[in-house]
Amino acid sequence: MAFKLTEEFKARAEKVCAKYPRRDAALIPLLQELQAEAGYVAEEGMDELAAFLGLPYARVKAVVTFYTMFNREPLGKYHLQVCRNISCHMAGAPGLLNRLREKLGIEEGETTRDGMFTLSAVECLGACGAAPVMQVNEEYFEKLDEAKLDALLEDLRHGRRVAGR
């Protein structure tokens, strides 16, 4: 069945559009809403959103592919995003990345077979004073070391709720 924006989504979307003098300024927030629901932005979603905002598909696609936070395919349940910029690098980020590669058996950009984890190396997350830092989905985990990382992975694997920061 073809993907359609729900009436409920459209009603919420109208409220977002109302924050701006031009409807198309709501494009990025609405893509974020779509992604929050499905975990990624599908081609059909881009088509539908383009029609809803009265934009050419190419404009939507250009935006989705420009910004790093839009996923064009489903990710694992937990998206592990390890900062690899200068302060985190000095604080041991390469070792953390290696540990995750080994423990999960995947490389950056890949997802484990059980669909639990996607591994990414990302650029500065803006929390350099608490380096090394990893974002799991939207939450920050700071001042990490291998022991903390191992414990965090175990908690996530067993579905235990863990708080960041």
Contacting positions for another protein (CB under 8 A): 19-22, 24-29, 31-32, 59, 62-63, 66-70, 84-87, 89-91, 94-95, 97-98, 107-108, 123-131, 135, 138-140
* Residue 150, CA atoms < 13 Å, CB-side half-sphere: 7
The distance of closest approach from Cβ of residue 59 to another protein in the complex, given in angstroms and rounded to an integer, is 8
Q: Please, which residue, 157 or 165, has the CB nearer to another protein?
A: 165
Sign of the alpha-carbon dihedral angle for 45, 47, 50, 53: negative
DSSP E strand stretches across the chain: 78-83, 117-122, 134-136, 139-141
The distance of closest approach from Cβ of residue 127 to another protein in the complex, given in angstroms and rounded to an integer, is 5
The distance of closest approach from Cβ of residue 42 to another protein in the complex, given in angstroms and rounded to an integer, is 16
DSSP structural state of residue 128: G
Q: Please, which residue, 21 or 159, has the CB nearer to another protein?
A: 21
